[in-house]
Structure 1
Amino acid sequence: MFRKAVLSTVASLAAIFVVAGSAFAVQFVNITTASTKGTYYPVGVAMAKIWNDNIPDFKAGVQTSGGTVHNIQLMETNEADVAFMDGVSYPAFMGTGSYEGNPKKFIRAMVPLFPEVVQLIVAKDSGINSFDDFKGKKISIGAVASGTEVMARQLLSAAGIDPDKDISPERLSIADTAKAFADKRIDGAVFVGSLGVPGVVEMTTLGLVRFIDVPEEHLKKVLADLPAWTAFQIPSGTYPNQNNPVQGYASWNMLTVRDDVPEDLVYEMTKLLYDNKGDLVMVADKMKLMDPKNLDQVVLPLHPGAKRYYDEIGASK
């Protein structure tokens, strides 16, 4: 885990190092992602390499985390400058829902990435055929301080299921969820992630799980409270052994940045990601969807440095 050096000011992100008797300023940026079994972490590593290779006197470090909620916490305490986030970032910024009265106004959008989908996964022999069958079962609702946990609790509550009383909640990362299915320790999971996440591919390839739809009546109810989300159908064949489309819902996840990261630096970082998009696609095929045309999916305000880049190419919101 990379940690910040002593900063001359938070806004400058400048650490002072002494090499061969002479001092020079290095801009240090910490990127927080999610678990290693998801998409955020390997893409974050690739982004750090692009920036480290192309920005003089610059060092980006990458760390794992519990996901969006944890990333917001790390950004708030100045332990993260750049973070991957899903739709939970919107109520956090606005100070609504679980963030009521405590808005996180330091979050700024940098780059729209790809859809983040709520998916219901159950063990093949669980006997779960509908959402109502979750009652009394052991259900993974996401790692502690993750966006998945927030979304799982909201969806379960919308369906009239108390996540602390009507099910046995297991607060597991996607990696631990896959292991729990393999060990037959859980019956189902609410998962929030991009399509084709390695952990879910692993489960479906081994034939451990199947998908069920988010019921229409629950979908309408939960989406009424989520301006950043929309209905989304997972196409058949997205995963091994998935022969039918599956109804879920999704938001566009984003690369975000603290509002106090210097404008010139964010401009350069944004430009370099698009200039080197091919390197990111090699790591995760879904990065083909990283495109300025998807700015209309961004519900957070853009960082001025990112906005300058999009203005320059004629793609601003």
Structure 2
Amino acid sequence: MKGKSLAWALSAALAAITLSGAVQAEEQVVTIGTGGQTGIYYVAGQAICRFVNRGAHGIKCNAPVSGGGVANVNGLRSGEFNFGIMQSDHQFKALNGLAPFDGEGAMDDIRALFSLQSEVFTILARHDAKVASFDDLKGKRVNVGNPGSGQRDTLEEILRVKGWEMSVFALSSELKPAEQASALGDNNIDAMSYFVGHPNGAIQEATTITAAVLVPVAGPEIDQLLAEKTYYTKAEIPGGLYRGNDAAIPSIGVKAVLSTTAQVDPEVVYQLVKAVFDNLERFKRLHPTFADLKEAEMIEAGLTAPLHDGAVRYYKERGWM
């Protein structure tokens, strides 16, 4: 009897190991390209994965730090990422093969899932740098953003309509978002740029450790840019969010969007979209910039590429399309 019991136990153990291996083999891992660890893209990616990973569908999601929106487009193209968070203008530029993606050509397989928070192009300058307008940045030490970031691409568009080169700045540093606040506080730069939703942790940190002011991004050249590039809209940073900045500050903005490619399995896209919208009220509590998200806007606003079939399936099930 002991021999039979041992044999049965071994057989059961082997069956469990085989079953476990089969389950692991069926598990599909997907990756979302986000941004810097102090940014909202990272928070959004982590939140999306949290809800996806709670589902019983065999999909495992991770959302590592990345170089930002432009880098996420390139990550989708190369297959490094299955999904990527980016500005709506980058989604448009990738779809149509416009700079900074003109070298690779049109990415006609890029697909939209939904939009997230509104984002505002933000310039924050040390108070003692005496920067009251964008034009005052001439001759200053400015962090223009790391290559592949949204602020870098947008800043280059602003410089183009102004007829400026990077050489107008005394220094054009390429610090990542997480490094900007301390550089401003240590007086290593006079101003930092960021394309981000508000309130934002990095801006909060910078205005806490040093006297710093938000700089208006407005004027005839900005109006020209808005007329030329319809994926930008007028926007403003509300007053009172940061120490020493009580007035609303005008600038330009876009939507943050979650994108993928047509090659990603519609079932995977469906489950990810379902995980977010089935938990939207909980998602909205994870960061102040998500508080105003509305389903009707998320499936339309900022979607400058076609919707993925998996997303369409879910939206039709909910009666939204």
Pick which of 174-183 and 292-301 moved more.
292-301
2 CA distance for matches of 1:34 and 1:88?
14
Q: What is the identity, as a one-letter code, of the residue corresponding to 1:97?
A: A
Q: Is 1:51 matched up with 2:52?
A: yes
Q: Counterparts in 2 of 1:262-273, with a 5 A limit?
A: 262-273=265-276
Q: Which amino acid aligns with 2:37?
A: T
**174-183 vs 198-207, greater mean Cα deviation:** 198-207
For residues 55 and 262 of structure 1, what CA distance do their matches in structure 2 show?
17
Q: Any gaps of 5 or more consecutive residues in structure 2? A: 1-15
In structure 2, the residue matched to 1:14 is: none
The alignment-based identity, stated in percent, is 26
Partner of 2:69: 68
What is the aligned partner in structure 1 of residue 12 from structure 2? none
> Aligned-pair distance for 1:166?
4.3
Match of 1:99 in 2: 101
- Please give the TM-score of this superposition, normalised by the length of structure 2: 0.87
Partner of residue 88, structure 1: 90
- Secondary structure at the counterpart of residue 243 of structure 2: coil
Runs of 4+ in 1 over 4 A off after TM superposition: none
How far does the alpha carbon of each residue in 1:240-260 deviate from its partner, in whole angstroms, 9 at most, with x for none?
321111011111111112221
The whole-number CA distance in structure 1 between the counterparts of 2:159 and 2:124 is: 14
Q: How many angstroms does 1:290 deviate by?
A: 3.1
Bigger shift: residues 274-283 or 189-198: 274-283
Alignment-derived partner of residue 307 in structure 2: 302
Q: How far did 1:225 drift? A: 2.9
What per-residue deviation string (whole Å, max 9, x for no partner) do you get for residues 162-218 of structure 1?
A: 124544211112211111101101111221111111101111233431012112212
Checking the alignment, whether the CA contact within 8 Å between 2:33 and 2:84 is kept in structure 1 is: yes
Match of 1:6 in 2: none
Deviations 1:103-134 (A, max 9, x none): 12232111110111111211110022222221
Aligned residues between the structures = 299
Structure in which a larger fraction of residues adopt strand: 1
- Which of 10, 14, 17 is the matching residue for 1:20? 17
Separation in structure 2 between the aligned mates of residue 165 and residue 131 of structure 1, nearest angstrom: 12
CA distance in 1: counterparts of 2:121 and 2:40, whole angstroms:
15
- Aligned runs of 1:98-247 on 2, under 5 Å? 98-100=100-102, 102-247=105-250
- 3-state DSSP of counterpart to 2:285: helix
SS class of match (1:118):
strand
- Cα RMSD, aligned residues only: 1.9
Cα distance in 2 for partners of 1:106, 1:209 equals 43
SS at match of 2:217: coil
Deviations 1:4-48 (A, max 9, x none): xxxxxxxxxxxxxxx823433111101110011101112211211
Q: Alignment partner of 2:66: what SS?
A: coil
Secondary structure of 1:219's counterpart equals helix
Distance 1:70 1:274, change over 3 A: same
Question: What is the CA–CA distance in structure 1 between the aligned matches of 2:210 and 2:185, rounded to whole Å?
Answer: 10
What is aligned with 1:41?
A: 42
Tell me the CA shift for residue 139 of structure 1.
0.5
SS, match of residue 229 in structure 2: coil
Larger Rg computed on CA atoms: 2
TM-score using structure 1 length? 0.88
Match of 2:260 in 1: 257
CA contact (8 A) 1:207 1:241 kept: no
For residues 32-72 of structure 1, the C-alpha deviation after alignment (integer angstroms, 9 at most, x for no partner) is 10011101112211211111111322211121011001111
Q: Secondary structure at the match of 1:157?
A: helix
**2:318 is matched with which residue: 306, 313, 316?**
313
Deviates more, 1:278-287 or 1:214-223: 278-287
Structure 1 residues 257-266 or 108-117, which shifts more? 257-266
Residue aligned with 2:194, SS: strand
The aligned amino acid for 1:92 is: A
Q: Distance in 2 between matches of 1:55 and 1:160?
A: 54
* Structure 1 unaligned regions, length at least 5: 1-18
Contact 2:49 2:61 in 1 (8 A): yes
CA distance in 1, matches of 2:63, 2:100: 27
